[in-house]
Structure 1
Amino acid sequence: MFKFSKKVIAVILIFLILVSGNISHAEDSYCKNIIIVYDTGYYTDTDVNRIDTLLHAFNTNTIKMSLNEYSDKVKLEDYDYVFILGLNENFLDYGLLKSLIQYKGDICWIGNGIDEFLKYGKYDLKYVGKSKQIVKVNYKEKDYILKKQYVFNIVESLEKNNQTIAYINDGLNSYPYIVKDKNLFYVSNINFNDILFYIFSNELNEIFDMEINSEGKVFLRLDYVNPFTDKENLKKISDYLYSKSIPFMVNLTPAYLNKENEKIITISEDEEMIDTLKYIQDKGGSIILNGYTHQYKNEKTSKEGIEFWDEKDNKPVTEDINLYVKNRILSGLRICIENEIYPIAFQAPNNVINSQGYKELKKYFSTYVGRHQSDDNVHVNNTYPYIIKNSVDFNKLIPENLGFINQDDDFNIDKIEEELNCISLVRGYSSGINFYPDLNIDYLNSVVEKLEAKDIKFMDLKGMKNWIKIDDINIESNNGVIKAKYNENLSNKNKKTDDKLILIISNAVMGIIVGSIVLFIVTFLVFKNIEKNKFFR
Structure 2
Amino acid sequence: MLEFILSSISVSPILLLLLAICYLKNKENKESWQKEILNYSFKNKRKEVECENANKRRLTADKKDITNDFKICFEGKNINFKKGLIFKYNRLYISLYDLQRLLGYNIKNRGRSTYLLMDNNKIIINYENGYFISSFKKCFRVPAVYYNEEYYLSLIDICEIFNLITVWNYNDKEILLFKNRREIIRTPREKLTKPALIRFEDITAGDEYDNAEKLLRLRIVTDLMYSKSLPFHIAWIPRYKSPKRGIDNDLSKDFSIYNADFLFTLDYMINRGGIVGLHGYTHQYKNGDSVDDSEFGEGYYSTVEDAEIRALKAINTSEKLDIPYKFFESPHYSCTFEQQAVFEKHFKYIFEPAQGVWNHRPYVSLRNKETIYVPAPLGYVENMDVKDMIKRIKDKPEGDLAALFYHPYKEFEFIVLNKLNDGYIDYSYLNNSILRKILNCLAEEGYSLVKITDITK
If the length of structure 2 is used for normalisation, what is the TM-score?
Answer: 0.51
Q: Which of these residues, 272, 290, 305, is aligned with residue 293 of structure 2?
A: 305
CA deviation profile, 1:426-482 (whole Å, cap 9, x unmatched): 3xx63211110212252211111111223321112356679xxxxxxxxxxxxxxxx
CA distance 1:262–1:373, change in 2 (3 Å): farther
Amino acid at match of 2:297: W
Matches within 5 A, 1:61-100: none
Q: CA deviation at 1:256?
A: 1.5
Aligned to 2:198: 220
Q: How does 1:133-532 map to 2 (within 5 A)?
A: 159-163=12-16, 202=26, 205=29, 211-212=32-33, 213-214=35-36, 215=38, 216-228=194-206, 229=209, 230-260=214-244, 263-268=247-252, 269=254, 270-298=259-287, 300-311=288-299, 317-318=301-302, 321-374=303-356, 382-384=358-360, 386-392=361-367, 395-406=371-382, 408-409=384-385, 411-420=387-396, 422=397, 425-426=398-399, 430-440=401-411, 442-461=433-452
Q: Residue deviations 1:188-230, cap 9 Å, x none?
A: xxxxxxxxxxx99955839xxx953423310111001111123
- Residue 416 of structure 1 aligns with an amino acid whose one-letter code is R
The answer as to whether partners of 2:280 and 2:329 remain within 8 angstroms in 1 is yes
Q: Within 2, Cα distance between the matches of 1:211 and 1:283?
A: 30
Structure 1 counterpart of 2:406, which letter?
A: F
Q: Is the 8 A contact 2:390 2:441 kept in 1?
A: no
* Structure 1 residues 358 and 416: CA distance shift in structure 2, 3 A: same
Q: Judging changes above 3 Å, is the alpha-carbon distance between structure 1 residues 410 and 245 closer, same or farther for their aligned structure 2 residues?
A: closer
What SS is found at the alignment partner of 1:292? coil
Per the TM alignment, residue 234 of structure 1 is displaced from its structure 2 partner at its CA by: 1.9
The 8 Å contact of residues 402 and 419 in structure 1, kept in 2 or not, is answered as: no
- How many angstroms apart in 2 are the aligned matches of 1:297 and 1:253? 16
Q: From the superposition, tell whether residues 236 and 462 of structure 1 become closer, same or farther in structure 2 (CA, over 3 Å).
A: farther
> Could you tell me whether the CA contact under 8 Å between 2:298 and 2:336 is conserved in 1?
no
Alignment partners' CA distance in 1, 2:375 and 2:336: 17
| Cα distance in structure 1, aligned partners of 2:25 and 2:324 | 34
Partners in 1 of 2:217 and 2:319 — Cα distance?
A: 23
Question: Which amino acid in 1 is paired with 2:315?
Answer: L
SS, match of residue 222 in structure 1: strand
Report the AA paired with residue 301 of structure 1.
D
Alignment CA distance shift 1:217-1:204 (3 Å): closer
**Number of aligned positions between the proteins:** 261
1:296, 1:306 within 8 Å by CA — same for their partners in 2? yes
CA displacement at 1:346 relative to structure 2: 0.4
Deviation at 1:296, TM superposition (A): 2.3
Q: Which amino acid aligns with 2:228?
A: K
CA RMSD between the two structures: 3.4
- 2: distance between equivalents of 1:272 and 1:218? 31
**1:304 is aligned with what amino acid?**
D
Shift in alpha-carbon separation, 1:219–1:327, aligned structure 2, 3 A: same
For residue 103 of structure 1, what is the aligned residue in structure 2?
none
Cα 1:161–1:395, aligned 2, differ >3 Å: closer, same or farther?
same
In structure 2, the CA distance between the partners of 1:200 and 1:331, relative to structure 1 (3 Å rule), is farther
Shift of 1:345: 0.6
Structure 2 alignment gaps of length 5 or more: 1-6, 39-193, 415-432
Q: Measured at CA, do residues 211 and 411 of structure 1 come closer, stay the same or move farther in structure 2, by a change above 3 Å? A: closer
Instruction: Classify 1:271/1:416 alpha carbon distance in 2 versus 1 (closer, same or farther; 3 Å).
Output: same
* 3-state SS of paired residue (1:336): helix
Give the direction of change, closer, same or farther, for the CA distance of 1:337–1:415 in structure 2 (3 Å limit).
Answer: same
Structure 1 length-normalised TM = 0.44
Structure with max Cα Rg: 1
CA contact under 8 A between 1:251 and 1:287: conserved in structure 2?
A: yes
How far apart are 1:352 and its partner, in Å? 1.3
Task: Give the Å deviation of 1:265.
Answer: 1.2
Which residue type is aligned with residue 366 of structure 2? S
Residues in 2 aligned to 1:325 and 1:200: alpha-carbon distance in whole angstroms: 43
- Cα distance in 1, alignment partners of residues 383 and 319 from structure 2: 34
CA distance in 1, matches of 2:367, 2:197: 24
Structure 2 CA distance for partners of 1:398 and 1:164, relative to 1, 3 Å: farther
Which stretch shifts more, 349-358 or 408-417? 408-417
CA–CA distance in structure 1, aligned partners of residues 446 and 233 of structure 2: 20
Alpha-carbon distance in structure 2 between the residues aligned to 1:250 and 1:305: 19
Where 2:296 maps in the other structure, the secondary structure is coil
- Give secondary structure in 1 for the equivalent of 2:381: coil
Structure 2 Cα separation of the partners of residues 351 and 400 of structure 1: 11
| Aligned-partner residue type, residue 408 of structure 2 | P
Look up the equivalent residue of 2:364 and give its one-letter code.
K
Secondary structure of residue in 1 paired with 2:345: helix
Task: Structure 1: state its 5+ residue gaps.
Answer: 1-123, 126-157, 166-178, 186-198, 376-381, 467-537
Letter in 2 for 1:308: F
Distance 1:463 1:161, change over 3 A: closer
